[in-house]
Amino acid sequence: MAVLRVNPTRMELTQMKRRLVTAKRGHKLLKDKRDELVRRFIEIVKENHRLRKQVEEQLSGALKDFALASAVMEPGAMRQALLYPARQASITMDKKSILSVQVPVFKMDENSLSEAVLPYGLVDTSAQLDGAIETMTNTLPLLIKLAETEKTSSLLADEIQKTRRRVNALEYVMIPQFEETIRYITMKLEENERGALTRLMKVKDMLAERTT
């Protein structure tokens, strides 16, 4: 591991030890953050899987009802019946923080859907079409929640990657460099002390020879 370019002085040694303590503390905090992010990510992925499975089942049932309705209704009648939608969904977006990661929160006013009426008459349409529309209406809140979990899991995955890179940089680069630099400075200071002690002993011997 390369040694940092520093002057081998006691002041530099003290500063380097402080930087090492700070780096180790930051490394521990980042590891704890990474582990918690992974835990939250796993929870959201499980929720996302559950929602996706539920949405796919409901959409599959709705598509079957649409196919049956199309088979029993007059050609073009379904398109005419669904030409003018009478239902509106009011969706708002907010944000919340998960370990300093800003993730979206989608909210939908479901009362606007429940109070709406069908956009067509019941005479020229089939019961399968009514069932398909009802299923799609019930699926919409799940789709909104699924979009929220999808985006949240994506943002958390990006943050996990960034945090993992920081942890690795501290663990395998910065902390070893600080430790190696501390050893280098300590070794240089000890060499200087031994050299000074040797010179002092020589001076002492020279003074002793002069006095004899």
Q: What are 89-116's pLDDT values in tens digits?
A: 778 899 999 999 999 999 887 665 555 4
> CA-to-CA distance for 129 and 78, rounded, in angstroms?
8
Residue 183 has a CB neighbour count (10 Å cut-off) of 11
- Note the pLDDT of residue 183: 92
Question: Which two three-digit tokens encode residue 118?
Answer: 């069908």
What is 10-211's CATH number, 3.40.190.10, 1.10.760.10, 1.10.287.3240, 2.60.120.10? 1.10.287.3240
For residue 208, pLDDT over 50 is answered with yes
Could you give the 3-state DSSP secondary structure of residue 100?
A: coil
Q: pLDDT tens digits, residue range 126-152?
A: 677 777 777 887 888 899 999 999 999
The single residue listed with the structure tokens 């989608």 is 106
pTM of the predicted model over 0.85: no
Q: What is the dihedral of CA 143, 149, 154, 156, to 10 degrees?
A: 170
Distances (CA, A) of 122 to 1, 63, 65, 67, 112: 79, 20, 16, 18, 21
Kindly report the average pLDDT of the chain as a whole number. 84
Quick one: average pLDDT of 170-178?
Answer: 94
Of 190, 187, 178, 180, which Cα lies nearest the Cα of 18?
Answer: 178
Q: What is the pLDDT of residue 120?
A: 54
Give the residues across from 107 on adjacent strands.
Answer: 92
Residues 78-97 have a mean pLDDT of 75
How many whole angstroms separate alpha carbon 7 and alpha carbon 15? 11
Q: What is the pLDDT of residue 116?
A: 47
The pLDDT of residue 2: 74
Q: Using CA atoms, how far apart are residues 34 and 26, in angstroms rounded to an integer?
A: 12
109 and 66 in contact (C-beta within 8 Å)?
no
When pLDDT is averaged across residues 70-74 and rounded to a whole number, the result is: 73
Buried b / exposed e along 27-48 (16+ C-beta atoms within 10 A): beebbebbeebeebbeebeebb
**Closest to 132 (Cα-Cα) out of 76, 55, 59:** 59
pLDDT tens digits for 147-167? Answer: 999 999 999 999 999 999 999
